[in-house]
Amino acid sequence: MRILTGIQPSGQLHIGNYFGAIKPAVDLQPRGDCTYFIADYHSMTSLFDGAARRQYTRDVALDWLACGLDPQKSLLFRQSDVPEVCELMWILGTLAPMGLLERAHSYKDKTARGISPNVGLFAYPVLMAADILLYDTNLVPVGRDQKQHVEITRDLAIKFNLAYGADTLVIPESEIRDETAVVPGLDGQKMSKSYGNTLEIFGEEKPTRKKIMSIVMDSRTPAEPKPDADKNLAIQLLKLVAPADVAADYENRLRAGGLGYGDLKKALFEHYWNFFAPYRARRAELAADAAYVESVLKDGAARARAIAAPVLARVRKATGLA
C-alpha cells in the first residue's frame, strides 16, 4: 500500500502541523510504503521569496527527520525534484471542469479574504491530484481542510480512466484523523501560520515561554471552581504534550478551584518543552551536517522518480502522447 502526503514549505512548523500531519504520518510508517514530500511548487501560489522558500524547504525536511521520519524506510523528497508532476498536471487539467475548481474551498477562502488569485492558486488542486496519482497512491493522510482536494483527485482519476482506459490510474482514499483534526492556537482559533497564533515545534526557549505565559485567560480568581475546565485552552494543549494522568490532574485541580492560571501555564510550558526535547536534540545533530539533509532529499527524489516513470509511461501511452 502506498501512503503519500505533502506539506508546504511556507513557514516554521507549529504543533498543529505536528499533531495534525507529521505525527500521524510518522505513525503510519509500519503500515505501508510512505512517500512524503515538501510541496515547494504549491508554496509558489502564496510565497514569492526564493531565499525564504529554500530555507523553509530545508527546515521542513529537518523537522520531518527530527520528528521520526526514517529515510531508510520512507521516501522524503522535494516536489520540484520530480518535475514530471507538471506534465501529469497538464494532462489532468484538460479533464478538470472550471466549475469544479471554482468550488474548491481553499480557492474560495483565499479569494474571499481578498487575495487576488493567480492561475496557480486556481489550479492548485490539479497539481495536488498529479502529486497523488503520479505515484499510484492508495492512501492520503491529511487534515480535514484537505479532504475536498482528495475528492477532486478521485474525480479526476475516474474521469481519466473513463476517457482513456479503465486501469490507468489508481483511485486513492483519504484518511482524516478527527481526534487531532484541529489543534487550537494561542488565541483559541485553529492554530495556523496565517493567523499568527502558533506555538512552533522548535521555537527558542525564551520567546516560546513568553508566548505561553501571555495566553489570555479570564479574570476569575485562582480559588474559584471552574466547571468549564475542559474548555480551557492551556488544558487542551496540555493534553497533547503531557501524560494523560498529569493532564487529568491539572484539569481536576482547575475544576475544583485552587490552581492559578500562571501555574497552569508554567506547567504547560514545561511539558511542551520536555515533550519535544528529544526531537530538538536530534534536530540540532542533523542540522550540524548540512550535506545530510540534501543527500536524503536527492536520494528520495531518485527513488520517487523510479516509481513515477512507469505511471507516466502508462498515461502517455493511454492518451496517445506515446
**Which of 2, 3, 4, 7 forms a contact with ligand ADP (CB under 6 A)?**
7
Is 176 a binding residue for ligand ADP by CB under 6 A? The answer is no
23 is in the binding site of which of ligand ADP, ligand TRP, none (Cβ under 5 to 8 A by kind)? none
183 is in the binding site of which of ligand TRP, ligand ADP, none (Cβ under 5 to 8 A by kind)? ligand ADP
Give CA separation, 299 vs 53, 74, 303, 304, in Å. 20, 11, 6, 9
17 is in the binding site of which of ligand ADP, ligand TRP, none (Cβ under 5 to 8 A by kind)? ligand ADP
Identify whether the C-beta of residue 71 lies closer than 8 Å to the C-beta of residue 298: no
CB of 213 to ligand TRP, least distance (A): 30
Active site residue 298: no
CB of 39 to ligand TRP, least distance (A): 4
Active site residue 190: yes
Residue tagged active-site, from 159, 193, 211, 266: 193
Q: Which stretch binds ligand ADP (CB under 6 A): 11-19, 49-57, 203-211, 295-303?
A: 11-19
Question: What is the Rg, in whole angstroms, of the alpha carbon atoms belonging to the chain?
Answer: 22
**Which of 4, 21, 61, 229 forms a contact with ligand ADP (CB under 6 A)?**
21
Taking CA 45 as the corner, what is the angle to CA 41 and CA 51, rounded to the nearest 5 degrees? 65
Binders in 114-143 for ligand ADP, by CB under 6 A:
142-143
- Cα gap 22→5, rounded to integer Å: 10
Compose the 146-175 pattern: x for residues touching ligand ADP by CB under 6 A, - for all others: x-----------------------------
Phi-psi label, residue 68: left if phi above 0, alpha if psi -120 to 50, beta otherwise = left
Q: Which residue has the cell 499510484?
A: 136
Active site residue 231: no
- Residue 128 or 254: the one with the smaller Cβ distance to ligand ADP is 128
Is 193 a binding residue for ligand ADP by CB under 6 A? The answer is yes
> Looking at the annotation, which residues are catalytic?
110, 190, 193
